[in-house]
A and B are shown apart, each in its own frame.
Chain A
Amino acid sequence: AQSVTQPDIHITVSEGASLELRCNYSYGATPYLFWYVQSPGQGLQLLLKYFSGDTLVQGIKGFEAEFKRSQSSFNLRKPSVHWSDAAEYFCAVGPQEGSNYKLTFGKGTLLTVNP
């Protein structure tokens, strides 16, 4: 069964510092990979996605993520964090085959940004 692990439950960074949120997945084939962000009281907003091709993908709000097949990882990065980035971040995987494309999520990483 597919699974997603986000090892860091809570991360605190200073504004302007760089950020890396980790995501590891377990899946029988190459999955589709996603990062979602949830601000308080908001829904899940898609930051970026990987389907195929270039393993470094760019997303909204200055985020990027790199797919590393050998490490089964899809870590999210941002070179300089802004206070508005404080939110919860979810990594998710979905199958490349089948019609339902249901997503399997990690437990999320809560990001706190200090001024």
Chain B
Amino acid sequence: EPEVTQTPSHQVTQMGQEVILRCVPISNHLYFYWYRQILGQKVEFLVSFYNNEISEKSEIFDDQFSVERPDGSNFTLKIRSTKLEDSAMYFCASRPQGLEQYFGPGTRLTVL
């Protein structure tokens, strides 16, 4: 069964450094998402992406964040200058024309 994959599973970085979180959505899906979950808090929507552009973003998704689909398979989230409060689990999701979103296993980002 096809699944969403994410790499790395755990990323440790120093405050101020750039990180790129990678996702490979399911191949025939059209809509892509990033969510994050700070430890002990809710899973929060960050951004949705369709037709090679951002379709919606939350107030969390400020200028430090960007997303890209550099080729036909990868979907990346970049944080330009990480802060301590960016430490969280980041989930990628994708969906076809239907409504069900398929989630990846997440990348745990630790900012020191």
Contacts and interface: CB of A to CB of B under 8 A. Distances in A.
A92 to B, nearest CB: 8
Nearest to A99: B55
B4 interface: yes
A90 interface: yes
Contact of A105 (B44, B55, B95): B44
Contacts of B43: 44, 90, 92, 103, 105, 108
A51 B42 contact: no
Contacts of B106: 43
Contacts of A99: 50, 55
A51 B100 CA distance: 10
B91 interface: yes
A43 B106 CA distance: 6
Contact of A49 (B35, B50, B100, B103): B100
B56 interface: yes
A102 B42 contact: no
Interface string A1-21: 000100000000000000000
Contact of B33 (A41, A49, A102, A108): A102
Contacts of A90: 43
Nearest to A3: B42
B101 A100 contact: no
Q: Is the interface of B mostly helix, strand, loop or mixed?
A: strand
A36 B3 CA distance: 15
B45 A104 contact: yes
Given A51-B99, A100-B50, A100-B56, 10 more contacts: A32-B99, A43-B6, A43-B106, A45-B103, A46-B102, A102-B56, A103-B45, A105-B35, A105-B44, A107-B41
Interface of A: 4, 32, 36, 41-46, 49, 51, 90, 92, 94, 99-108
26 contacts: A4-B42, A36-B103, A43-B3, A43-B104, A43-B106, A44-B91, A45-B103, A46-B101, A46-B102, A49-B99, A99-B50, A100-B48, A100-B50, A100-B55, A100-B56, A101-B31, A102-B48, A102-B56, A103-B43, A103-B101, A104-B45, A105-B42, A107-B41, A107-B42, A108-B42, A108-B43
